[in-house]
Amino acid sequence: MSDGAPALRGTALPPCVLHEDEHLLLVVKPAGWNSHAPAPFAGEGIYEWLRHREPRWAGLAIVHRLDRDTSGLMVLAKTPLASRSLTAQFRAREVRKSYLLLSDRRGPSGEQRLEAAIARQGERYVVRSEARGGRPATTVFRPAGEGTGPDGRPATRIIAEPLTGRSHQIRVHAAAGGFPVLGDGLYGGGRAARLCLHAWRLGLRHPASEEWLDFEVAEDFVADPRVALRAAFIDPAETSAFRLIHGAADGQPGLYVDRLGGVLLAQSEAELAAATLQRFAAGGAEGLYHKRLDRQVRRLEPAQAAPRHVGGQAAPARFVVREHAVDYELGCAEGYSVGLFLDQRDNRRRFLTGHVAAGFPLYGAGPAQPGVLNVFAYTCGFSVCAALAGARVTSLDLSRKYLDWGRRNFELNSLDPAAHDFIYGDAFDWLGRLARKGLRYEALVLDPPTFSQAKGSGRFRVESDYGRLLAAALPVLAPGGVLLACANTARLAPDDFVAGVRAAVAAAGRSVDAEHYAPQAPDFPVSPAEPAYLKTLWLRVG
C-alpha cells in the first residue's frame, strides 16, 4: 500500500450557514440551540458543532452570542485577523444589531431609549443601579406595526437596537418598558411556543477589506420551533432521517418521534392519543408507526417488539432513507430496532469525511486504504461510511441477519461487500482471535448494546464491563490508531465513562495522543429534564 490518508469526502453545508468567506462565517441560529456549550457534557452549542465539522473551521472564534431561545444572525471569526477586528468593532459599538420582538402588550408609540444598568440575580437579570453592581446598558426601541404570534393571535411588533451587549439585555429592558417579549416567562411575557425575539439585521466592517456589510434574515415566529431547529442543520436533499421530537427537551416528556423518509415513528411507554396521531399525520407523513418503549423488550418476540402501523399508508417491508447522501435500508417489521441509530449520525459523518474534530484528522498519515474494525456492527452504518471514504472494513456482529442487512447497505451505495470482511460471532472471542493473528487496524469502533449475553463471553453490561471490552479490543488497534468508544445508557455518567476509558488505555500500557468527546446530535437535545444518554469518545491511541 502507498502512504497517505484517503481523500476527504465532503457533505453539503448545513442550512444555517448564510455567508462564508476567508475570514467570516455568518449563521442563522435557531431558537432552542445554545450559542456555545453551557457545560462540558451538556451538548454542543452551534459554535462547537460548526467548529468541529469542517477542517477549515477549526480556528473558529466566537465573538458574538445570542441567548439559547433567541433566533437569528450570529457572526463567527475564522481567522485571528477577523477575531481581532470583530472584537474591536463590538467593543467600540460599531456593529449594528437590530432585533425584532413580539409582545402581547402595547409597545412604544415612537422611539424609546431605555438606559438602565443590569445585574445578575440567580437565573435572571434585573435592573439595578451601577452603585449596586449593575452594568450600564442601553437599548433603543421602535414600533414596527402589528404582527401574528405563534398561536395566531395578534401581537405588537417592536424593533430593538441594543447599544451595549449585556446578557438578556433586550428581554430585561423590554419588560422594564412595559412590553415584555412574548414567550418570555422569565420576565413576565405572555405564553407562547417560543421566545419571540429574533436577531434580524447585522451590519459590520469586513475585517480584511473594511467594506461595510449588511445582512438580514426575516423572522418566523409561527413555525414550530422544534421543526425550525432541525431545519438549521438537516439538509433535506442529503438527509431524510432524523429525530423530530426528543421527549422533555422538546416539551413532550416521554414521547420520541423520528422521521424516516415518509414514515413517522413515534415511541412512548403509553399508547398514543387519537389527537396526537392526527397532529403527526397532518405533518406530511405517508405512514405513522408506534413503538411501545418496554424495559422488558428482550423477553418479547420480534413481532411483539416491532413498531405497529397506526395511521396512513403501511411502509414496505424494506424502504430506504438517506443520511449525508448515503443510503440505508430500514424496516418496521424486523423487531425492536428499525436498522439505523439516528443519534450516531454525526459520528458516521466523521468516518465519511475522515475528520473527527478541530485538529483531529481521522487517519493522519496512515496507509492509503486504512483498516477499520467495526465491533457490534449491527447493520453496518459505520462500516458503509468508512468504506465509502476508502477504508477496508471488517464488520463483526453476533447476528447473521444484521450482517446480511449490512451487506445490502453496502450494495445500496455501490460498494462491493466481497471487498470487505463480515464476521459472525462473539465480540470477545473474535477480538482475541484477531489479536493472536497479529491483525491491527487504523480505526476501531466499539458501540456495544447496553446489555447482551453470549455463550462464550457471558453477560455484558456497559456500565460494569466496558473496561473488560477495552482490554480485549486495544491489542488490535494499531499504534496511532483511532478508537471510537460509545456507551448508550443514562446510568453511566459522562465523566465516569471518559475516566474509565482513559484508565483502560493506561492499563494497556498505551497513551492518549488526542481526544474528542462528541455528545448527542443536536436533534437529540440535552436538557435537565432530558439528560444525555449517549456518550461517544474519540481517542488517538499511541
pLDDT digits (tens, 9 = 90+) for 175-190: 999 999 999 999 999 9
Annotated catalytic residue, options 3, 21, 67, 465: 67
Mean pLDDT of 40-46: 91
Nearest to 511 by CA among 477, 472, 535: 477
What percent of the chain lies above the pLDDT cut of 70? 95
The amino acid that residue 334 corresponds to is: E
Mean pLDDT of 84-98: 96
pLDDT per residue as tens digits for the range 225-242: 999 999 999 999 999 999
pLDDT attached to residue 328: 98
Distance CA 473, CA 483 (A): 10
Q: 3-state class of 252 per DSSP?
A: coil
Among 22-26, 360-364, 453-457, 511-515, the least confident range:
453-457
288 and 281 Cβ atoms separated by less than 8 Å = yes
Phi, then psi, of 261 in degrees rounded to 5: 65, -120
Distance CA 60, CA 53 (A): 11
Beta strands 71-77 and 197-205 are: parallel
| Mean pLDDT rounded to a whole number for the chain | 93
DSSP letter, residue 336 = S
pLDDT per residue as tens digits for the range 103-129: 999 999 999 999 999 999 999 999 999
- Residue ranges of the chain assigned to CATH 3.40.50.150: 328-541
228-322 CATH: 3.30.750.80
| Range list of β-strands (E), 108-240 | 112-115, 118-121, 124-127, 138-148, 154-162, 197-205, 212-216
What residues pair up with 477 in beta bridges, in sequence order? 441
Give the homologous superfamily in CATH for domain 328-541: Vaccinia Virus protein VP39 (3.40.50.150)
Q: 3-state class of 132 per DSSP?
A: helix
Q: Is the pLDDT of residue 281 over 80?
A: no
Give the fold, CATH level 3, of 17-225: Pseudouridine synthase (3.30.2350)
Task: Provide CB contacts within 8 A for 441, sequence distance 6+.
Answer: 370, 371, 372, 373, 394, 476, 477, 478, 481
Is 67 noted as a catalytic residue in this protein? yes
- Residue ranges of the chain assigned to CATH 3.30.2350.10: 17-225
- Say what the pTM is: 0.93
- Residue ranges of the chain assigned to CATH 3.30.750.80: 228-322
- Pure H helices in 345-459: 345-353, 381-388, 400-412, 427-436
pLDDT attached to residue 257: 94
- Pure H helices in 216-375: 225-231, 274-281, 302-305, 345-353
Distance CA 286, CA 261 (A): 9
